[in-house]
Amino acid sequence: MNPVIESLRSGLIVSCQAMPHEPLHGSHIMQRMALAAEEGGAVGIRANTPDDIRAIKDSVSLPIIGLYKKRYPESDVYITPTMAEVEAVVEAGADMVAIDATLRKRPDDQSLKDVVSMIKHQYPDHFLVADVSTFEEGKYVDDLNVDLISTTLSGYTEETRDIDGFNHHLLKKLTEICHKPVLAEGRIYTPELAKDCIIYGAYAVVVGSAITRPQEITERFVDEMTL
Ligand SMILES: CC(=O)N[C@H](C=O)[C@@H](O)[C@H](O)[C@H](O)COP(=O)(O)O
């Protein structure tokens, strides 16, 4: 296995993301978050937008899963939706590129299969992370030329919107059938759950909000304290 992928095994990947409406938005802040994650023992960083990726690349030596969230009116696909965003993520210095790997209509009307082959053809040295929401999507993409599969979108698509919390069931099913390493991602709020994900067979665990979104962390405390 490639040393970059190998370095992620059984480790914690910290997603450092803040959208424009969030209090911690800003590449400098995400760079500090990523530094803190590195200091704490993370094995990788997941980051959104070319600016954040560049800033993090400047000061952190961990491999970066880059993505670029962009909304197009004609499609619900927003995680690195077209080749233009893939190119921007690669140019910014990401080692891996995460894309929406659901079977939904894409903004440029390309099929997922074609997008995956284009990316691997154009960027053969970059690793491709397929963000899925269901078992069927994971099974489908496992046969394409992707390097890792992540449970990122479970709970965020029409088909899965009733799923609340981390989807253990999806992780277990994917780790059973997929030939590619599977990342556990999405609403993993505790170290205990992250450890369980590794026990269930996750190759590595991606944690975002529980580490890097203090407004959400505060909210969970406040909710829990409401008698
Ligand atoms: C659904 C979607 O757009 N997820 C995004 C993907 O990059 C991020 O907003 C999440 O923070 C990331 O997946 C980590 O998940 P969590 O923050 O729940 O630990």
Nearest-CA residue for ligand 1 atom 9 is: 17
User: What percent of the chain is predicted at pLDDT more than 90?
Assistant: 99
Q: What is the dihedral of CA 222, 32, 119, 72, to 10 degrees?
A: 50
Helix, strand, coil shares, percent, the chain, to 5: 40, 15, 40
How far is the centre of ligand 1, averaged over its atoms, from the C-alpha of 17 (Å)?
A: 8
Tokens (6 digits) for 25: 């938005």
Is the predicted pLDDT of residue 73 greater than 90, yes or no?
yes
187 CA: nearest ligand 1 atom = 18
Quick check: helix, strand or coil at residue 110? coil
Q: Which residues pair with 205 in a beta bridge?
A: 12, 184
For residues 105 and 95, give the distance between their C-alpha atoms in angstroms, rounded to a whole number. 26
**Per residue in 80-99, is it b (16+ CB within 10 Å) or e — as a string?**
bbbeebbbbbbebebbbbbb
* ipTM surpasses cut 0.95: yes
Q: Which residues pair with 138 in a beta bridge?
A: none
Is the predicted pLDDT of residue 1 greater than 90, yes or no?
no
User: What percent of the chain is predicted at pLDDT more than 70?
Assistant: 100
pLDDT for residue 136: 98
How far is the centre of ligand 1, averaged over its atoms, from the C-alpha of 5 (Å)?
A: 20
The DSSP symbol for 202 reads: -
How far is the centre of ligand 1, averaged over its atoms, from the C-alpha of 186 (Å)?
A: 6
Q: What is the pLDDT of residues 9-33, one digit of tens each?
A: 999 999 999 999 999 999 999 999 9
Average pLDDT, the chain: 97
**Mean pLDDT of the region 162-191:** 97
Q: What is the pLDDT of residues 104-116, one digit of tens each?
A: 999 999 999 999 9
How far is the centre of ligand 1, averaged over its atoms, from the C-alpha of 209 (Å)?
A: 7
pLDDT for residue 87: 98
Determine the straight-line distance between the first and last CA of the chain, rounded to whole angstroms: 51
- Return the best residue to mutate from 17, 89, 131, 211 for the ligand 1 pocket (most ligand atoms within 8 A of CB): 17
How far is the centre of ligand 1, averaged over its atoms, from the C-alpha of 37 (Å)?
A: 16
pLDDT for residue 101: 98
The domain limits of the chain are 3-225
- Fold of the CATH domain 3-225: TIM Barrel (3.20.20)
- Return the best residue to mutate from 185, 188, 193, 220 for the ligand 1 pocket (most ligand atoms within 8 A of CB): 185
Q: Give ∠ CA 176-206-208 in degrees, rounded to 5.
A: 145
Residues flanking ligand 1, CB < 6 Å: 15, 17, 46, 67, 152-153, 156, 185-188, 206-210
Tokens (6 digits) for 153: 């979108």
